[in-house]
Structure 1
């Protein structure tokens, strides 16, 4: 019911609309009697206010202005003022405010009873609400029976189309896929949003968009309702109702409420099944690249089952996420949506590919024919740049390590190369970085020959002894050399006074008899500091 319809009810047949004609189509959800001015505490959107003017009688113009603006902000549909002994004429200021704010102002005489008005207004509203609830549970019952047939998503959409007589689409925003009862309605240009107030008994968040349907002939300009489907699988699903001829009504919203809940359950069921399959594949890929499958025949069968047997060349790409703020208490589960977006983009870009996902990383196996696979690196850079532009890495760095190209039975070797490259990335790079195993240079000597356990024999005994006896001074020396021998930069990184840094450096010169102009001596210390870091990381991983 709106205000225009309300004025036709028996108790209001002789009323006078004094102002606010532009709000004549305001919808009514309830009715209340004004007894106190704290309307922000009890007023509701769509409410009609009844008053004998008693509460407003002592307000000056500024106070009236403030009160009526609050009414507008709340969404009050109209105000009905009874003329009696307290007020014989409604002040011009109120008439003016109601016109400006498009709040219908209705005058009734003292013989009209509030009880009659309230019953006449609430009666149709109660009946309508009862009808909507009945519609909701009728649709719910039909969907319960439908669930027993285990329908496809497409079949479900066609059932909903029958109920509201409009085409329906469901889209996966993340994967850029969709299912629709009318594929011609897929390609749209969005012109803007139209305001929508959710009807009674609706829970989900609805949006109405004005669009141009580009594939129809001729092109159609119309509106569509969009509602996100909350989903545990981290994929962004949306349900779309195409309003080609007219907008949907409150009964259709009852269907949509059920539709979203029903689709939630169906998507959750499919997600549970997919997760079981996903975990099985994860375990198989993990065994394959970690050298836990020894029979070549078994390796061949696994590669064939994953569609990785078409070409002779293989390469492993490991993408790992690192927290930017090491002190922040971010749970690893927060990485999962990011990893899913990464692997979905990779699945679209690369055909012969399989992956393994863990809590903070995803490992890809590529299978290709070209011996020089430079296009892979360029494609990876483009994907990551695109994701970075969408601001999904605001809390994390990504570090990508790429193995050499290997043959099928050397996948464990390629996996070790990707892991070793990650070690170096983690130690020396605190930013988004893509690094190929071939770029490791001298570090490969220690990583390939497992010399990290005896790293001390590659370091000058003098430097090793100095680090053990003076760890604080060694740290200062390390930062000083990595800061281009700048006292100020070193002091800022170590949170020390520049004089303290200068004192420590002078002490280091004396203890080591060190000449900072001797590039050979400086190189020995810098190499030693990096080898110590590699050794420390290896020891941590072994615990």
Structure 2
């Protein structure tokens, strides 16, 4: 005798199952298992199936129509019904009573399961009993594929698609599932863990016992096994999905569900990306025109309204720049792709801001928080720069990420001013790095530049050489010929407010050595340290000379 409903009940795999009627039919052979997905399901049955339903599919049917469908089903040589009792689908219990009446009439087993018991464990168990391994895989692949497809059709590429698919997969495999962006930030999670994905040093490639085109990996998350699957959208955007064995170990049929989930995620993302690209291009054109002052006052008002901006609010513009570290400073296709990845990271970190990308440049319009000081905002941007830079290093890319901050302006009509300052701040970063010696300086607020703005306006940096006092040039010439330290001593002396003692301490030499060098400096250059104007000119000359040497 083949597999029967009696064997299913006696297996005690599902102790909450309860036989309502049809005891005489318990030994009918089960030849398959299907979910009642459409009203006229009888048209697609081959005989011997056990049917699962919550009666949801009959919500729009009259009692007479439901009764006719039940009559047709029980005449289709089925082996039984499994019903999940859901009050929202059968509030009066009338539909279940009608089904029970027909099952009694034709001696068909009717089994009830509680609302908290999902179908998929039952489906897997029955398929493994009824079919050989390969057939079970194909059947399970088909049934999971059809169910995942409903999310694509229902959502039509909306942002809910990924969330629905991930939650449904978690129900199917009875374990938590998390979806991550390529930068390892969490996109969708079925549990409370929204932290970044950590790929351990011990992670290993894993090959499930199925035919797959996706890259599986396996690692430990605490004491539990975690599977990591990497896939791509359009061969460019990387996505990760993780399944952690918290409740039970995965079996082969679970991998069929995972495969179908990923395939449908790819379709869903393609549709969503296509819609997003159209929206982003339209938004990009609007923002470009606003920031560059290409719109009339009326056009500006209309454009701002489409972006949700108000003239009564305060905004600032931030310019994010990505500089390639190769000699040519030209962007390859791979490097431009990296800029796109950084854009996605910024949109994740700053979800309320308007962000658009133009080749290597990413620009943000952000409403100013009146409760946040400029210093606090500077610190926030520095923290964001650190997060992005860590991600860049993790991906082993050679991108120099910089942030220029423009001033706050009231309303959207003056955004052009803030954009100009943000762009100029990016331009001055190299100068600030040269002057301060901090090559990692990457966040600059235009309003904090002060004196250094002058240097940024000179396109040919060598023209600045004429601003170096002749007295200082003599010192540089002397140091070059004698391999001396007079320039270094002069820099430290001025930096320490002309204190011989502090200069000696900073240079780890005796104060008499500093005194001797200062006399030598006066003798060669004729610098008068009591003349404030001359000292200022020398200080500026030291900065300019350092800049020119770095440029060489």
The answer (yes or no) to whether the contact 1:288–1:412 under 8 Å persists in 2 is: yes
Residue matched to 2:66: none
- Deviation per CA, 1:375-408, whole angstroms, max 9, x where unpaired? 2112112222344445638623333222222222
Change (3 A) 1:299 1:130: same
The answer (yes or no) to whether the contact 2:315–2:409 under 8 Å persists in 1 is: yes
Give the 5 Å matches for 1:239-318: 239-241=241-243, 243=245, 245-293=247-295, 295-309=296-310, 312-318=313-319
Structure 2: distance between partners of 1:442 and 1:185: 48
Q: Give the one of 402, 425, 428 matched to 1:424.
A: 428
Give the 5 Å matches for 1:355-504: 355-368=355-368, 370=370, 372-390=373-391, 392=393, 395-408=398-411, 409-429=413-433, 430-444=439-453
Change (3 A) 1:260 1:482: farther
Change (3 A) 1:482 1:288: farther
Superposed displacement of residue 530, structure 1? 7.6
Residue matched to 1:335: 338
Superposed displacement of residue 412, structure 1? 0.9
SS for the counterpart of 2:383 is: helix
Give the 5 Å matches for 1:512-531: none
- TM-score, scaled relative to structure 2: 0.51
- Deviation per CA, 1:207-254, whole angstroms, max 9, x where unpaired? 456668xxxxxxxx8655442332359766333446455322223323
Pair 1:171-2:179 in alignment = yes
The answer (yes or no) to whether the contact 2:228–2:240 under 8 Å persists in 1 is: yes
- Deviation per CA, 1:144-169, whole angstroms, max 9, x where unpaired? 9645554733444466567x453563
Change (3 A) 1:178 1:390: same
The answer (yes or no) to whether the contact 1:404–1:414 under 8 Å persists in 2 is: yes
The answer (yes or no) to whether the contact 2:336–2:359 under 8 Å persists in 1 is: yes
Q: Give the one of 334, 343, 347 matched to 1:344.
A: 347
Superposed displacement of residue 288, structure 1? 0.9
Structure 1: distance between partners of 2:466 and 2:441: 31
Change (3 A) 1:240 1:176: closer
Structure 2: distance between partners of 1:436 and 1:188: 30
SS for the counterpart of 1:355 is: strand
Residue matched to 1:203: 213
SS for the counterpart of 2:440 is: coil
- TM-score, scaled relative to structure 1: 0.52
List alignment gaps of at least 5 residues for structure 2: 1-130, 434-438, 492-523
Change (3 A) 1:482 1:324: farther
Change (3 A) 1:339 1:482: farther
Change (3 A) 1:521 1:191: closer
Structure 2: distance between partners of 1:522 and 1:197: 71
Change (3 A) 1:343 1:485: same
Residue matched to 2:510: none
SS for the counterpart of 2:316 is: strand
Structure 1: distance between partners of 2:196 and 2:329: 42
Structure 2: distance between partners of 1:189 and 1:431: 27
Superposed displacement of residue 273, structure 1? 1.8
Structure 2: distance between partners of 1:376 and 1:462: 39
Superposed displacement of residue 425, structure 1? 1.3
Superposed displacement of residue 364, structure 1? 1.9
Superposed displacement of residue 374, structure 1? 2.9
Change (3 A) 1:361 1:185: closer
Superposed displacement of residue 343, structure 1? 1.2
Number of positions where the alignment pairs a residue of Structure 1 with one of Structure 2: 365
Change (3 A) 1:406 1:290: same
Structure 2: distance between partners of 1:187 and 1:533: 45
Superposed displacement of residue 457, structure 1? 11
Structure 2: distance between partners of 1:205 and 1:435: 41
Structure 2: distance between partners of 1:461 and 1:242: 65
Residue matched to 1:65: none
List alignment gaps of at least 5 residues for structure 1: 1-126, 213-220, 468-472, 487-512, 536-543
Give the 5 Å matches for 1:41-56: none
Change (3 A) 1:439 1:481: farther
Select between 450-459 and 307-316 the one with higher mean Cα deviation. 450-459
Superposed displacement of residue 415, structure 1? 1.3
Structure 2: distance between partners of 1:328 and 1:419: 18
